[in-house]
């Protein structure tokens, strides 16, 4: 799982009992999510999340509130799933997801090292306990794994040779998610992962 070596594809096994925050987004089959920045978006930080069949799953819209960025992930009817903001005054990037208002349900942190790049801790709705997931690999270089302990529950791959991306400065990520894993949580994690790259550019 080196930085320059793509992670090998794996067969994603069902997670039982399901894990996540919005359990109605846990489905019984493996799903490929497509996270794409809206071409020519004014903010450059807005995503529409669809599956590989083109079916919308959820939306992410960026809003600016005074001194901090805030992203709101909604369902297709505009109902809030998460409000995400970056934690201020931290040495490494850190993002907090809240649902409903002001109740923290997950936290994504950047980590040092060449193995685990990111760590996400969330309040699982099935067990009502906190669960930690890690991202290992190089999402920005091509591929990465999202791990529950030693088990891969999602794999991230980036489209590197899409001319619309090159000219539109747009990134597309394909995320294979195991059955029984909250699709909206994985989407939110990947959005936070991508934002660490943008945060690094702004520093």
Asked if residue 175 is part of any domain, the answer here is yes
Q: Which two tokens stand for residue 69?
A: 């960025």
The answer as to whether 139 is a domain residue is yes
Q: Which two tokens stand for residue 197?
A: 């790259």
Mean pLDDT of 43-71: 75
* Beta-carbon contacts of residue 102 (< 8 Å; ≥ 6 apart): none
Which helix (H) or strand (E) segment holds residue 135: the answer is strand 130-138
Residue 6 lies in a domain: no
Q: What is the pLDDT of residue 35?
A: 82
Residue 16, domain member (yes or no):
no
Is 70 exceeded by the pLDDT of residue 27? yes
Q: What percent of the chain has pLDDT over 90?
A: 51
Q: Which of 38-47, 84-93, 115-124, 153-162 has the lowest mean pLDDT?
A: 38-47
How many domains does one find in the chain? 1
Stronger pLDDT, 154 or 43, i.e. the higher one = 154
Question: Can you tell me the distance from the alpha carbon of 137 to that of 146, in angstroms, rounded to the nearest whole number?
Answer: 9
Neighbours of 101 (CB within 10 A): 7
HSE-CB at 10 with a 13 A cutoff on CA atoms is 19
Tens-place pLDDT, residues 102-135: 899 999 998 876 656 899 999 999 999 999 999 9
Domain at 190, CATH number: 2.40.160.200
In a domain, 172, yes or no: yes
DSSP, res 181: B
Q: What span, in angstroms and rounded, lies between the C-alpha atoms of 25 and 15?
A: 13
In the prediction, which pLDDT does 113 show? Answer: 64
Domain with 27, as residue range(s), is 23-202
pLDDT at 194: 80
Token output for 60: 């992410």
Q: 69: cis peptide before it, omega within 30°? A: no
Write down the pTM of the prediction.
0.85
Examine residue 46 and state whether it is found in any structural domain, yes or no: yes
**What's the Cα-to-Cα distance from 42 to each of 25, 38, 47, rounded to whole Å?**
29, 9, 12
CA distance 70 to 83: 7
pLDDT bin (cut points 50, 70, 90) of residue 186 is: very high
Is there a contact between 115 and 132 (Cβ–Cβ < 8 Å)?
Answer: no
Q: What is the mean pLDDT of residues 41-61?
A: 80
Euclidean distance between CA atoms 173 and 159, whole angstroms: 6
157 within some domain: yes
Arithmetic mean of pLDDT over the chain? 82
Nearest to 108 by CA among 200, 197, 192: 192
| Structure-token match 């089959």, residue found | 29
β partners of residue 173: 35, 158
Note the pLDDT tens digit of each residue in 82-111. Answer: 999 887 666 678 999 999 878 999 999 988
Q: pLDDT at residue 13 above 60?
A: yes
- Tell me, yes or no, whether 8 lies in a domain: no
Q: Is the pLDDT of residue 8 over 60?
A: yes
The pLDDT of residue 7 is: 72
What is d(CA 122, CA 105) in angstroms, rounded to the nearest whole number? 6
């Amino acid at each position: 799982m080196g930085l320059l070596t793509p992670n090998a594809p794996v067969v994603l096994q069902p997670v039982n009992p399901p894990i996540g925050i919005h359990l109605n987004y846990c489905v019984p089959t493996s799903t490929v999510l497509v996270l794409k920045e809206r071409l020519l978006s004014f903010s450059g930080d807005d995503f529409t999340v669809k599956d590989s069949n083109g079916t919308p799953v959820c939306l992410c819209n960026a809003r600016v509130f005074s001194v901090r960025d805030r992203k709101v992930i909604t369902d297709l009817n505009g109902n809030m799933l998460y409000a995400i903001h970056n934690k201020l005054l931290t040495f490494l990037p850190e993002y907090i997801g809240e649902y409903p208002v002001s109740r923290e349900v997950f936290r994504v942190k950047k980590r040092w090292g060449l193995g685990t790049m990111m760590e996400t801790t969330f309040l699982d709705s099935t067990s009502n306990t906190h669960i930690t997931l890690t991202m290992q690999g190089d999402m920005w270089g091509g591929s990465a794994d999202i791990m529950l302990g030693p088990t891969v529950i999602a794999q991230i791959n980036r489209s590197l040779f899409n001319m619309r991306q090159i000219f539109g400065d747009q990134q597309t990520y394909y995320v294979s998610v195991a059955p029984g894993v909250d699709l909206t949580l994985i989407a939110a994690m990947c959005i936070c992962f991508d934002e660490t790259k943008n945060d690094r550019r702004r520093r």
